[in-house]
Amino acid sequence: MKSLIAQFPQQLTEALSIAQKTKFKLSKSNFNQVVVSGLGGSGIGASIVQEYVFDKLSIPFTVNKNYFIPASVNKQTLFIACSYSGNTEETLMALDEALKRKSTIVCITSGGKLAEIATKHKLDLVLIPGGMPPRACLGYSLVQLLNTLKKAGLLKTKFEQEIASAIVMLNKGTKKIQISAEKVAQALHGKQIAIYGIAGSEGLMVRFRQQINENSKSLAWHNVIPEMTHNEIVGWKAPHEDIASVFCWHVGDFDRSIKRMGILKKVVKNCKSTQVNIELKGNSHWERVFYFIHLTDWVSVYLADLYQFDAVEVKVIDHLKGEMSKN
């Protein structure tokens, strides 16, 4: 897994190249919504993109992580099916329904049944490199989602320039990122993990939690401000020396939310919880996003090392898929 994480900047470079070379039949139509179906490592990119386009798209952007699709999906919907393996049963079932409703469909995958269906129905198909764990290929799918929105005439920002700049930043800062990640992993070792961020970056908090789950083989939870300061904060009443609290933020976050986080930190400190701060560093949105992803990916594998776990192994998921395949 470490070698795959180390290749993340290279993956982003390749993802931009794939986006540039991909030819779409997709036209700039009068879409009434965007729906992306994808789960796990194939779906988290959509969650991160959803927050990016929150104040940029004039139509709803929904991330669907279920077998079923919203009743509103129709001929005016841009439906994006994202499955790294191409065999995710929930995504394939959702796609089948979108086909019945005659939506405009784009498929993002490395192959499998999804690629076969796209070819059969002459759908737009974006192929990304295969043979890796889906969670290690976030850069590929995320960039293709952005490019699809651009080709559909829905996204006007020059995200490619920001991502190119982020690649330079990651390459220059690799050693510092790894050193920081090792320190964070040591602070989290042996603890339950609570991850707190600010609204607008929940997709990143989910990504961090999922990497702790899959790579570190550990449980964690996340929440965001301001919502959690209306409920979960009350749970911080008794001492919790067994919990490590990770506070994630950047200097451009809304000042009222930053103030709420400061108050939360004091409450958590009174409960004797270990506190860790992670600042999302960078001069643009995508620099901050990819810095955080790269840093926390390293945290998850260093934590796996401390627990002496294989970061790649996901036997329980393989077992589940095997059981689900039985009639």
Q: Which amino acid is at 311?
A: A
At residue 165's C-alpha, the angle toward residues 163 and 167, to 5°, is 70
Tell the burial category of 149 from Cβ atoms under 10 Å away from its Cβ (0-12, 13-18, 19+): buried
Instruction: Give first-to-last CA distance, the chain, whole Å.
Output: 33
- What percent helix, strand, coil does the chain show, rounded to 5? 50, 15, 30
83-139 pLDDT, tens digit per residue, is 999 999 999 999 999 999 999 999 999 999 999 999 999 999 999 999 899 999 999
Nearest Cα neighbor of 201 from 91, 278, 140, 262 is 278
214-256 pLDDT, tens digit per residue, is 999 999 999 999 999 999 999 999 999 999 999 999 999 999 9
- Is a pLDDT exceeding 90 seen at residue 28? no
Nearest Cα neighbor of 216 from 197, 190, 198 is 190
pLDDT value at residue 52: 96
pLDDT value at residue 45: 96
- Report, as residue numbers or ranges, the catalytic residues: 214, 230, 321
Nearest Cα neighbor of 11 from 120, 166, 209 is 166
CATH of domain 2-157: 3.40.50.10490
CA–CA dist 156, 175 (Å, integer): 34
CA distances 202 to 29, 38, 140, 144, 215, Å, are: 30, 17, 20, 20, 20
pLDDT band of residue 27 (cuts 50, 70, 90) is: confident
CA–CA dist 106, 169 (Å, integer): 31
The SS3 of residue 197 is strand
Can you tell me the mean pLDDT for 174-180?
Answer: 96
pLDDT band of residue 57 (cuts 50, 70, 90) is: very high
pLDDT band of residue 29 (cuts 50, 70, 90) is: confident
- Please say whether the beta carbons of 290 and 260 come within 8 A: no
- Is a pLDDT exceeding 80 seen at residue 271? yes
CA–CA dist 78, 104 (Å, integer): 5
Tell the burial category of 78 from Cβ atoms under 10 Å away from its Cβ (0-12, 13-18, 19+): buried
| DSSP type of residue 263 | H
pTM above threshold 0.85: yes
Where are the domains positioned within the chain? Answer: 2-157, 172-307
CATH of domain 172-307: 3.40.50.10490
The reply to whether 172-307 shares the fold of 2-157 is: yes
12-21 pLDDT, tens digit per residue, is 999 999 999 9
CA distances 44 to 16, 100, 204, Å, are: 18, 26, 8
